[in-house]
Structure formats: structure tokens, C-alpha cells
Amino acid sequence: MRKLLTRAIATSAAAMLALGATSCSNEREGEGSGSSAKGFKADSVIGVALPSKTSENWVLAGDLFVNGLKEAGFKPDVQYAGASTTVADQQAQISAMVTKGAKVIVIGATDAAQLSTQVAQAKQSGAIVIAYDRLITNTKDVDYYIAFDNFKVGQLQGQALLDGMKAKKPKGPWTIELFSGSPDDNNSAVFFNGAMDVLKPLIDKGEVKVGSGQADIKQTAVQGWKAEVAQQRMDALLTSTYSSKTVDGVLSPNDTLARAIITSVKGAGKPVPVVTGQDSEVESVKSIMAGQQYSTINKDTRKLVADTVKMVKTLQGGGEPEINDTKSYNNGVKVVPAFLLPPVIVTKANAAQAYANDPKLSPLTK
């Protein structure tokens, strides 16, 4: 139950959780499953709405969707939202996909809470809506969610932070700082809650200390996942809290922010702490092999896109796609049936094995 509550969005009341849990099976059999039982033409338009190109994985995902959907016989309409801080671009793109007659719309949400109108339009047109990587919140009109297990990602990050600090300094207490992602990305809270599931018991015992005292997600958030925002916050923390002491570790939710944090620490002339990450970005894998960034998370975008295309193909044939979680992802209105892939923690010790089948990353681990 604790795991369910930590994954649910913060504003969901206990009654809403109960409603979502009891209605999940009905949603999948009726309205929640869209028109999957009917199927649709094999050469149909499939919309894919992705956020701005803030990481290597989003760029890769777009290319993979274009190629994978074409190979499956569909007509892909893959769009990226602009770099602005508003969700207007993505809202317009989804509406345009509905107008084009898309039978499935896959959405990597720019702002998880501001797409309910467009998702409702999609459902009214008979389209099936798949939330990709980021759960879309506060709407009954999402049929499926496909992602890596993001709560597990946070748990792995929290444990990696502890393991790395213990390796460098066997006996505590350890002083850390916490960073979380953009507050408009539903995954940010899931990552953070997963990490705190591991870290908070030790914080409560006094074995781990948050040096600045900034342990609330509102204090740790990095708007827009922007590297410069993370670097500025780390600069401020070093000035205010670490003028005469050392930070042992920093929880970073992804690789882009991890590198910004390391840049800040180096710029201040401080020893590089244990820093976590996520996404297996090229520069961070290089940093890990060089002994700077401690860890990342391998979430193979190739696998996630391939499984999403497989889901679309199953829906096209009138079948029900594979689901392995019907309890954990409450979006504030319903529990969304999910297919979750397992993430893998990567450090210098296991990088060669983790990326053995990745032609881009494998050469970096030699």
C-alpha cells in the first residue's frame, strides 16, 4: 500500500485511490480500453507527441518511433513540443493528430496535468491514448501507460547514493543534498519518492544528513529539467552550507543535472561527491568511466519504443496489449493499466556488461 501511495500524485485523496482501484478492471473492459476490441486498419495514422528535445533519449525515441511504426505498416505522425515553458505546442499537436484521424496517440507529456482537454478530444474521436514514459494526470481518458518502473528507478538511485558514499567513506554519518526534476513532470515525484523510500529511514536515524535541510520536493525541484537551474542551485548550496565542510553525496534525478552539479562542485574547488543520474547519456557514461559521476540508470529507449509499437500493433488487431501493473499508477481520476520495464543501475563496475549490446555506449566502456 505504501508503494501505491508514494506513486500516486500528491493531490489524490484516499477516497480517490479507492475509487481508482475498484474501477480499474471496469475501465479496461469498457471506456478505459477505448476501441481496442474493434481494431483498425493496418495503415492507419499513429500520432506520437513528445516533449521538447531536452535529453538524448527523447531525440532517439522520435527517430525510433518513425522507423518502427513505418516498419509495422502504420503512418507515423511524430511531433516534438517546442522549447517554451508552456504546453501550448503539445496541446495543438495532439488536436491536429485527432483531426488527421489518428487511431492511437502516444503521448510523452510536456505537462502531465494540462492535457485533459486534448485527451478527451482523442477519446471522443475513437482514438486510443497511451501515456509514454510520463503518466498523464487528472483524466479518465488515458487507456494505457508504458514506461520503465520509475519508482524502482528512484529506489536504485537512492541505494546507489548510499553504496557510493559507503565505498568512499565506510562509516557515517554522510552529508547529502537532494535534487528532483521539473514539477510539471509527473515522473519527478515518482523518482523522488522512490529514492526517499531508501534514504528517509537513514535520515530519520541520523545516519544520513541533508546538509542544507532542504528535503522537501518543492525545495529540490529543477524547473524544466534545466542544467543551468541545477547548477545555480548547487552553487548557492555550496556557498551557504559548504564553505567549511564537504558534501558526501548528491541525489540527482538524471544525467543532465548530474553533470551540472559536478560542474558546480568543480568550479568551487571542492571534491566531487557521489552523484547519481539517469538516462545513460554519452557524456555521463564517459564521466562514470573517468571516475567522476558515480552512477546512471539504463532505461533502454530502443526497448521502450519497440514495446510501445508492439502495443499499437496488438490494438490494431483488436487485441488487449500486455499489462503487468493494474494497481500502482493512480492519475487522480483512475488507476491506469501499465506495462512497466525493469531499469538497471549502472556504475563503472558493471558498465561494460550493462551496455554490451548497445553499439553507441559499449565502446565507451572498454
Residues 188 and 205 in one domain: yes
Residues 307 and 359 in one domain: no
Residues 61 and 96 in one domain: yes
Residues 309 and 217 in one domain: no
Residue 125 structural domain: 2-142+300-341
Residues 330 and 357 in one domain: no
Count of all residues that appear for the chain in the document: 366
pLDDT value of position 24: 38
Residues 23 and 133 in one domain: yes
Residues 125 and 197 in one domain: no
Count of other CB atoms within 10 angstroms of residue 334: 24
pLDDT in tens, 85-104: 568 999 999 999 999 999 99
Q: Which CATH number covers residue 156? A: 3.40.50.2300
pLDDT in tens, 178-201: 999 999 888 999 999 999 999 999
What is the pTM (predicted TM-score) of this model?
Answer: 0.81
CA 339 from centre of chain:
14
Q: Return the closest-CA partner of residue 106 out of 56, 138, 142.
A: 142
Whether the upstream peptide bond of residue 173 has omega within 30° of 0, thus cis, is yes
Residues 174 and 257 in one domain: yes
First to last CA, the chain: 43
Residues 17 and 126 in one domain: yes
Residues 221 and 277 in one domain: yes
Q: How confident is residue 34, by pLDDT bands cut at 50, 70 and 90?
A: very low
Residues 256 and 358 in one domain: yes
Domain count, the chain: 2
Residues 106 and 9 in one domain: yes
Q: How confident is residue 4, by pLDDT bands cut at 50, 70 and 90?
A: very low
